[in-house]
Amino acid sequence: MTRWYAEYFTADYWSFARHEYTRERTAAETAYLLQVLSEHAPGRRLLDLGCGTGRHAVELARHGYRVTGVDVCAWALEQARSAAAREGVRVGLIEGDLLERVELPEADAAICVQAFGWGRDDEQLALLRRVRERLVPGGLLVLDHSNVAAILSRYRARDRFEAAGDTFDFLRSYDPLDGRSRGELRVAHADGRVAVLRDDVRLYLPSEVVSLVRAAGFELVRADAGFTAGAAVQPETRYVQILAVAAPRPRPAVLGHRGRGAEVDLRWAPDEIDFVRDAIDDAWAAVGDPREPARAYSLDDPYGSGSAAPVLARHFGVPLDPGQVVTGAGTTGLLHALAGPGRLLHTAHAHPDLPAWSAQRGAELRVYTPGQDVAGERPTTVLLERPGVRGDVLPLEQVAELAEAAAAAGGMLVVDEACASYLGPRASAVPLTTRVPGLVVLRSLSKGYCCGGLRAGFAMCSPDVAGAVRQAVPPLGMSALSLEVALRLLDQGDVLAPLRQAVAAAKPELVEMLSGLGCRVERGHPALPWVVTEDELPPWLAGRRLPGLTRVSVPLSAVRRAALRRAAA
């Protein structure tokens, strides 16, 4: 389908536009762009979105920017190509519809001047997200748009302009229900030729554009009026320039694994299996022939809640209705399903999985501390890791307060308890789901249970948010075989008690050794098999690098503890 703008910005349009976009106006706009780019862009690779005839692209290239212009109109691109040749500069040009899939190069900044609003809101948002993907972290977006408030204050349904023997008649109508101005430009040339051009433009308030920009993963720097840096935007401001930077995005932790490098690798705890192997073997023995559940396709219980709820109720010591339970492909799979747009609050050292995936879907990320008033932030989702990476475990009464605050704001609290298995079932926040609104507690069988390959995850929800979780999580997310093994394992009770005892015995030695190496150590909860430090580890020792922290696992086996002692000596 050919869109209106592919046939609008042609020679007939520019026979009028050359009188509006004068050389003096272009020079003033370019001077503004040069100023804000020099102040905020981290480099000189530049995208000109909807570059048209190249009136900005060529000038910016002349000032040393490596410009790539994108436009749907072949005629306009040919003019841009000729202008670049006349000035002796190189401008990369791509013919393509920005509202469709156009392969954009990586850039340090992107400008879009008088080329925004051609599509629907969802198309504009998708475009901004694609631009965000191609900008480096901290890359600058300069988005110019026409302020609908200023336009409507002097809106004329009919207008005429005459110049150089040509006559231009404008017919317009504005629909306040969809915010679009639809019109017709009739061009009568001096030689008798007549052309009729039709447009269909979404006109925005500055606040609407800011919302789209933020939803696309940008952080607002400021809004300027009339291509004047620092000028305040007023209701009567005709042209508004939104300046925003591409917010840095966390990378999902599961994608950051690297092979072993140091002499002693304490990023992980492979010796935990020694303390749970018998329970795992018993679970598999109880399953019997695995071929039967492997063939099962649980259409009568697609979320696994019917079979999981009774076992989880016994395990956590609380009545659970099947409607409160959703199974999925591990905690990671559940977090991926729960990621979405809106506003996500997370703690400073949260694992990056949910923030990263939410940002990809347009969420605004904000850091919070559990003691603050989160309701005032109007969150869609609040993420709490319990325990946190520093080994802190938020008391249950504070978890309840946090869930109630999130629910009062229309959001939900997602408690990631993937590592809470080390603490035992009675320390879980799952019982709160029976009396507190807005709460989702995630558990899995990877940490401590050493069964990450099962991809077994459970979401236990307050009744008021259970429906929303089911809408987000795909059915049949966990295989029938994985579910049966997981439930057989959980139904054995607190099988990780021996592991907790081993951690309590081995952890003090690790703390003493790291302290002797000059590291300031945060011990965390005594049952958790890791410590953290903000200091550098010696090169022979590998820990799990996190932003501003290194997590060091407690070696449990005699072999690993001896290897650590030898290396330290």
pLDDT digits (tens, 9 = 90+) for 369-409: 988 889 889 999 999 999 999 999 999 999 999 999 999 99
CA 131 – CA 216 distance, rounded (Å): 9
Range 494-522 burial, b when 16+ CB lie within 10 A, else e: ebbeebbebbeebbeebbebbeeeebebb
Rounded mean pLDDT of the chain? 92
Q: Hey, what are 388's tokens?
A: 């946190």
- State the pLDDT at residue 371: 84
Mean pLDDT across 441-466: 95
> 58 with 29: CB under 8 angstroms?
no
568 band by pLDDT with thresholds 50, 70 and 90 = confident
Intra-chain end-to-end CA distance of the chain, in Å: 72
Please report, as a single letter, which amino acid is at residue 131: V
Burial group, residue 223, by CB count within 10 angstroms (0-12, 13-18, 19+): buried
Per-residue pLDDT at 159 exceeds 80: yes
532 band by pLDDT with thresholds 50, 70 and 90 = very high
**Domains of the chain and CATH, by start:** 4-149+205-246 (3.40.50.150), 253-269+497-568 (no CATH), 277-490 (3.40.640.10)
CA 277 – CA 150 distance, rounded (Å): 71
146 band by pLDDT with thresholds 50, 70 and 90 = very high
> 203 with 181: CB under 8 angstroms?
yes
Per-residue pLDDT at 261 exceeds 60: no
Residues 6 or more apart from 41 whose CB is under 8 A from it? 108, 109, 139, 140
113 band by pLDDT with thresholds 50, 70 and 90 = very high
- State the pLDDT at residue 1: 53
Mean pLDDT across 2-26: 90
CA 19 – CA 140 distance, rounded (Å): 30
- State the pLDDT at residue 569: 78
CA 182 – CA 198 distance, rounded (Å): 8
> 124 with 202: CB under 8 angstroms?
yes
Range 68-95 burial, b when 16+ CB lie within 10 A, else e: bbbbbbebbbebbbebbeeeebebbbbe
CA 37 – CA 243 distance, rounded (Å): 10
Cα–Cα–Cα angle for 146, 109, 243, nearest 5°? 40
CA 327 – CA 329 distance, rounded (Å): 7
Per-residue pLDDT of 265-323, as tens digits, reads 888 888 999 999 999 999 999 999 999 889 888 888 999 999 999 999 999 999 999 99
Per-residue pLDDT at 564 exceeds 90: no
CA neighbor of 302 nearest in space, from 467, 474, 469: 474
CA 438 – CA 378 distance, rounded (Å): 13
Per-residue pLDDT at 106 exceeds 70: yes
Strand pairing class (412-416; 541-542):
unpaired
Per-residue pLDDT at 258 exceeds 90: no
CA neighbor of 484 nearest in space, from 324, 288, 334: 288
Rg (CA), the chain: 30
Phi/psi of residue 566, each to 5°?
-65, -45
Per-residue pLDDT of 338-380, as tens digits, reads 999 889 999 988 888 999 899 888 788 889 998 888 988 999 9
Strand pairing class (91-95; 107-112):
unpaired
